[in-house]
Structure 1
């Protein structure tokens, strides 16, 4: 009987500890949200000679730092799309075609979007930029 009472008391104590710590742990987790730049980004880029242009089609997803900022990002969608299109349009063919160049472009877009959002809203808002489809033709 004493062992049963002891085990019940320990179980109740452990349950109480778990209940009291679970919400704190849940609050520490990031509350990311995702949104796409729709429709896909389709634009030209500079080919090997000034007479030849290539085109790129990219599906871009934005990781928003907090789901509460999703509406802010949606409000600034024209600025975000225009920035991504402009950066792609300035890229030379060798950068568009290479994996390292693609990563450089992604990071340039991320930095530019964070800068614009910081200027417009006071917060970076955009946590990351993800290319989910990447097609090009020269």
Structure 2
């Protein structure tokens, strides 16, 4: 008897919660994606002065709003320069490791958000995605 009452109370609670959730409007954000074209090919700090490392990266920017696409297009040279600067200051160990790649991605995100906040008054960029990531050494 107690189990039946407990089960009924649980079921009623779940149904009432679901009706409250269904009654509310769920606001979904729509994001936009912007490619930094063409791919970025730049060097990074090699293991020695005689060896130079190169990285080739395709970058997609996840924008917080589709309305930011025009501003992203306008500021794309600045964003490309900033990402090249971030990659150029990275040591070989960081470029070649998975955790280092994630650190570089976060550094790019922070740098780009800082620049866009200064230029447009909004961070604009929700995330940075590396869709291609190749490195090699000469």
Residue matched to 2:14: none
Alpha-carbon distance, 1:103 to partner: 0.3
Residue matched to 1:49: 48
Alpha-carbon distance, 1:51 to partner: 2.0
For 2:86 and 2:72, the matched residues in 1 are separated by: 19
Alpha-carbon distance, 1:37 to partner: 0.5
For 2:37 and 2:67, the matched residues in 1 are separated by: 20
Larger deviation: 43-52 or 125-134?
A: 43-52
SS of the equivalent of 1:130 reads strand
Matches within 5 A, 1:1-138: 24-25=25-26, 28-138=27-137
Alpha-carbon distance, 1:121 to partner: 0.7
Segments of structure 2 that go 5 or more residues without pairing to the other structure are 1-22
Moved over 3 A (4+): none
Alpha-carbon distance, 1:129 to partner: 0.1
For 1:89 and 1:33, the matched residues in 2 are separated by: 28
Segments of structure 1 that go 5 or more residues without pairing to the other structure are 1-20
Give the number of equivalent residue pairs.
Answer: 117
Larger deviation: 92-101 or 50-59?
A: 50-59
For the aligned residue pairs, the C-alpha RMSD in angstroms reads 1.6
TM-score when normalising by structure 2: 0.80
